[in-house]
Amino acid sequence: QHKQNVGVSTGCQSGCQTCSVYNGCLTCKPKLFIHLERDGMRQIGVCLASCPNGFYGMRSPDRNDCIKCGSECDTCFNKNFCLRCRAGSYLHKGKCQESCPEGLVPSDTKRECVP
Amino acid sequence: LCILQHGAVGQGQSTPATCSPLCRCDEDGGADCSGRGLTAVPSGLSAFTYYLDLSMNNITELPANVFRNLPYLEELRLAGNDLSYIHPEALSGLHQLKVLMLQNNQLRTVPSAALRNLQALQSLRLDANHITLVPDNSFEGLQQLRHLWLDDNNLTEVPIVPLRHQGNLQALTLALNRITRIPDSAFANLSSLVVLHLHNNRIQEMGKNCFAGLENLETLDLNFNNLKTFPEAIQSLPKLKELGFHSNNIAEIPEGAFHRNPLLRTIHLYDNPLSFVGITAFQNLSDLHSLILRGASMMKDFPSLTGTVNLESLTLTGTKIRSLPAELCDDLGLLRTLDLSYNEIEEVPSFQGCGRLQDISLQHNQIKQIERDTFQGLSALRVLDLSRNQIKFIHEDAFLSLSGLTNMDLSLNSLVSVPTAGLSSLNQLKLSGNLDMKNTLVAKSLPKLRSISVPYAYQCCAFTARDGPGSSAGEEDKSKATGEDEDMDRMPLVVHCSPSPGAFKPCDYLLGSWMI
């Protein structure tokens, strides 16, 4: 019998406060980020201390969410400030660009504009 | 056991690089030991490890020299442990470390001694600990530091001295702490800072020059604080693009509020008890795309938007504004949505210059009439809400240009009639509440109508309302059977008309009074 385990925190993954069999973590323990992974049609909640690549952690008093970075960005500080760009673009002051400003040159290994 | 084949350094032989049995290693020098219930740093890792993830374990402290065999480490993740103590020599030898994640631990102070020699460190996460103290020398050795997370701790003030020498810092968050004031020159030497988050603190007081020195700041987040006055200190921020101070206690936006921030793109100021907004507050913000002002209840004059030429969405509701400037659209050629509802507007100018308008909300005002040119040229308009006004008269050509209009709400006005010329795309029309409108409407001129509400049920008879495709066939047979006049102007199908006629509200309008 498929027992819906909504809201019961026993038997949850680590970091979960409440979870359900079908959707994984529903809420997280304090200060952890909830991240929704896709599994086919389903969304599975997982609780993390740091968000996966391509996401950043947005903290607020009642919940902490993993939020998608900007399109060209691998890891970011917030939606508009990148920490590491995807291959093919170069980081300068938090922005991913295809070319570098004057006086700087693109470094493919670092994916940054460097002096 | 996962063995890596890797040439030994300087010995000419191939010695296998190792991986701890407690971890999973990849070929590039990455070691994932996260979530394994570890209480200590595992030994036996390859000397060439450059990425080590120890997050979500139960490590409570880091002893001295625990990473001395990992000289090439660039990223160390220790988030989500129970770290409460880091020995001053714990991180020694990590000369290439760039990223250190210590968030979600039990630290009460910044482990300044342990951080001292991390000259290559760029990103330091200390968020979600219990830090109350940031020693003055906390970040002294970190000349390359660019990103610092101190949010979600127990700081009661800005760590001014520790930050004093961080000229390379680009992003800093002090959000979710207990900071109550920002003194002058709090961030004086942070000339490279681009992002500063201070949201969810208790900031009441800000020095006029508290942001002095932040000449490159682009994002400032002051949301969810206790500010009572407008943060004038933003005048020190010439490069500011994103500003948030919503959910504070600010009552006034002064004149020229943003005149030193010409690059502003977004301003979030909702959920403030605004009562006054200076007329010149939003001038010359040519990068501003959206402006939302709700509930500035004492505001009487429409703000000047000269120079704010790229606005696409303007919401200004809940004020005492009675009139709009005739040249409103001179600067708003790109406007797509305009919400001026819940004001006291009596007259509306021509919106002709706002040729891209798609949505106009003017409900809940005191408008009395609509002129010929009010909506002239607005072929892109889709939705028009004029409900809850006092409109008595609409010029017969007022809607001629509105070939794209699909939804119009004229309910609860004082209309006697409504022009339909030009409304070829209209599929929803609301006229209820216009009690003086007793004439029957001409169905033919609204070919796409699908839903209409009218003041009186008999007016629905002109639209031969039919609910659902099934019932329409029946209706047609009936009309053939009764030999009804084929030439009657039969309205193409109207899916819904209310209030629909019925036994006690027959289609015939009897003797001028509906009571018989």
pLDDT tens-place string over residues A31-83: 999 999 988 888 999 999 999 999 999 999 999 999 999 888 999 999 999 99
Mean pLDDT of chain A: 88
DSSP B163: H
Q: Give the residue from B411, B459, B457, B461 showing the smallest Cα distance to B434.
A: B411
Considering only alpha carbons, which residue of chain B is nearest residue A77?
A: B171
| Interface A-B: count of C-beta contacts within 8 A | 67
Q: Give the residue from B70, B55, B63 showing the smallest Cα distance to B18.
A: B70
d(CA B266, CA B274): 18
3-state secondary structure A10-32: CCCCCCEEEEECCCEEEEECCCC
Residue A8 has pLDDT above 60, yes or no: no
Cβ contact (<8 Å) for B56 and A49?
Answer: yes
In this prediction, residue B3 has a pLDDT band, given cuts at 50, 70 and 90, of: very low
pLDDT computed for residue B27 by the predictor:
86
Considering only alpha carbons, which residue of chain B is nearest residue A15?
A: B56
Cβ contact (<8 Å) for A60 and B147?
Answer: no
Bigger pLDDT: B291 or B478? B291
d(CA B42, CA B138): 28
The tens digit of pLDDT for each residue in B37-52 reads 999 999 999 999 999 9
| Poorest-pLDDT segment among A26-30, B36-40, B362-366, B479-483 | B479-483
Q: Which residue has the tokens 């010695």?
A: B15
Most confidently modeled range among A94-103, B7-16, B362-371: B362-371
B79, B104, B171 ranked by CB distance to A94: nearest = B171
Contact A15, A48 (CB under 8 A): yes
Q: What strands lie across the sheet with A90-92, from one edge to the other?
A: A95-97, A90-92, A112-114, A105-107
pLDDT computed for residue A100 by the predictor:
94
Helices (H), B258-342: none
Close Cβ partners of B485 (under 8 Å, ≥ 6 residues apart): none
Bigger pLDDT: B321 or A71? B321
B413 inside 8 A of chain A by CB: no
In this prediction, residue B463 has a pLDDT band, given cuts at 50, 70 and 90, of: confident
Cα B75–Cα B80–Cα B85 angle in degrees, nearest 5:
85
ipTM score of complex? 0.90
Contact B130, B107 (CB under 8 A): yes
Q: Which residue has the tokens 């102070």?
A: B109
Q: How far is CA B260 from CA A33, B229, B232, B283, in A?
A: 37, 18, 10, 11
Cβ contact (<8 Å) for B194 and A94?
Answer: yes
Mean pLDDT of chain B: 89
pLDDT computed for residue B506 by the predictor:
63
Q: Which residues of B touch A83 (CB under 8 A)?
A: 123, 147, 171
Q: Provide mean pLDDT across the span B172-189.
A: 97
Q: Give the residue from B323, B382, B322, B332 showing the smallest Cα distance to B352.
A: B332
Q: Which residues of A touch B192 (CB under 8 A)?
A: 93
pLDDT computed for residue B474 by the predictor:
40
Per-position b or e across A25-63, b if 16+ CB within 10 A of its CB: bbbbeebbbbbeeeeeeeebbbbbbbbeeebbbbbeeee
pLDDT computed for residue A5 by the predictor:
45
Task: Select from A80, A82, A113 the residue whose CB has the most chain B CBs within 10 Å, as the one to mutate to test that interface.
Answer: A80
In this prediction, residue B32 has a pLDDT band, given cuts at 50, 70 and 90, of: very high
A50, A59, A80 ranked by CB distance to B175: nearest = A59
pTM across the whole model: 0.85
| Poorest-pLDDT segment among A37-51, B108-122, B268-282, B459-473 | B459-473
In this prediction, residue B503 has a pLDDT band, given cuts at 50, 70 and 90, of: low
Considering only alpha carbons, which residue of chain B is nearest residue A31?
A: B128
Bigger pLDDT: A3 or A66? A66
In this prediction, residue B61 has a pLDDT band, given cuts at 50, 70 and 90, of: very high
Contact B372, B398 (CB under 8 A): yes
pLDDT computed for residue A9 by the predictor:
55
Cβ contact (<8 Å) for A60 and B125?
Answer: no
Residue A3 has pLDDT above 70, yes or no: no
| Poorest-pLDDT segment among B182-196, B374-388, B419-433, B497-511 | B497-511
B56, B152, B195 ranked by CB distance to A94: nearest = B195
Which region holds residue B325: left if phi is over 0, alpha if psi is between -120 and 50, else beta? beta
Task: Select from B51, B96, B104, B192 the residue whose CB has the most chain A CBs within 10 Å, as the one to mutate to test that interface.
Answer: B104
Task: Report which residue type is found at B259.
Answer: H
B55, B170, B171 ranked by CB distance to A49: nearest = B55
